[in-house]
A and B are shown apart, each in its own frame.
Chain A
Amino acid sequence: QKEVEQDPGPLSVPEGAIVSLNCTYSNSAFQYFMWYRQYSRKGPELLMYTYSSGNKEDGRFTAQVDKSSKYISLFIRDSQPSDSATYLCAMGGANTGGFKTIFGAGTRLFVKA
C-alpha cells in the first residue's frame, strides 16, 4: 500500500465549477498536510499548508484535513482556466535532522472556458 493515494484523473470541469480533489494516506505520523500546484514543465509550488484537522481557507481555495479518516481534500471555488494544472497532495513530518515530505501522484485538472 502506498503511503499516499491520489486519483491521477484527468479531471475536466467547466469554468466556474467547484472542484474537489482528494487524497488518502496511511501513515498516522504525518503532521503537516500540503497541496502543491504544478504547471506543465514547471516545478511544484506550494498552494496550501495545514497542520491540524479542520478547514483552512485562502481565497478561492479551501483545504480540509480529517486525521481520523486519514483523508485530505482541496476545494477550488469558481474555477478558472488558469487553474488548469496538476495538483499534488503532500504529507510531511519531522525526521532525524530534517523535514520529510511524501507526495501523491498528482491529479491533472483541466478547466474549460
Chain B
Amino acid sequence: EAGVAQSPRYKIIEKRQSVAFWCNPISGHATLYWYQQILGQGPKLLIQFQNNGVVDDSQLPKDRFSAERLKGVDSTLKIQPAKLEDSAVYLCASRYGGRGGNEQFFGPGTRLTVL
C-alpha cells in the first residue's frame, strides 16, 4: 500500500513570496489533515478535511493560508504572502475513519525555509 505522498520535500523562499504544497493521501482515506511542525515542537493542526469538506480550520491563519481538497482526494496548502515565522515542516496526514480506522498516516513533510 502506497503511503502519503507530499511534494516538494524542501522549499526555500523569501518573505512575502507565495508557496504551495501538495499532498496525495492513501487511497480510500476520507480524512486529510495539514499540520505545521515548528522545530522543537509537536505538529499543530492547521486544517482537517472530511472528503472535500472542511471539518476544522480554527487554527489556520486565513489571512495568508488557504487549502483545498478537490474531489476529496489530493490537497494543496498555499501560503501567500509568507512570513519568517512560517518556517516549519508542513505535514500531511490521512485517516481511513470508520470502525477501527483512527490511525493517522503521515507523509514525509515539506520543509519550508522563509528568508
Contacts and interface: CB of A to CB of B under 8 A. Distances in A.
| Chains A and B bind each other | yes
Interface in A77-113: 88, 90, 92, 95-106
B104 A101 contact: yes
Interface residues of A, number: 26
Contacts of A41: 108-109, 111
Interface string B85-115: 0000001010101000011111111010000
A8 interface: yes
Contact of B107 (A32, A43, A46): A43
Contacts, number: 62
- Binding site secondary structure of chain B: strand
A6 B48 contact: no
Contact of B42 (A45, A46, A96, A105): A105
A60 interface: no
B45 A100 contact: yes
B44 A46 contact: no
A88 B103 contact: no
B42 A103 contact: yes
B55 interface: yes
A105 B102 contact: no
B31 interface: yes
Given A49-B102, A49-B103, A98-B31, A43 B41 contact: no
B45 A46 contact: no
B115 to A, nearest CB: 20
Interface in A32-61: 32, 41-46, 49
B55 A46 contact: no
Given A41-B109, A42-B109, A102-B45, 9 more contacts: A4-B42, A42-B108, A43-B91, A46-B104, A97-B50, A99-B31, A99-B95, A100-B45, A106-B41
8 contacts: A41-B108, A44-B43, A44-B91, A88-B43, A96-B56, A99-B97, A101-B45, A101-B104
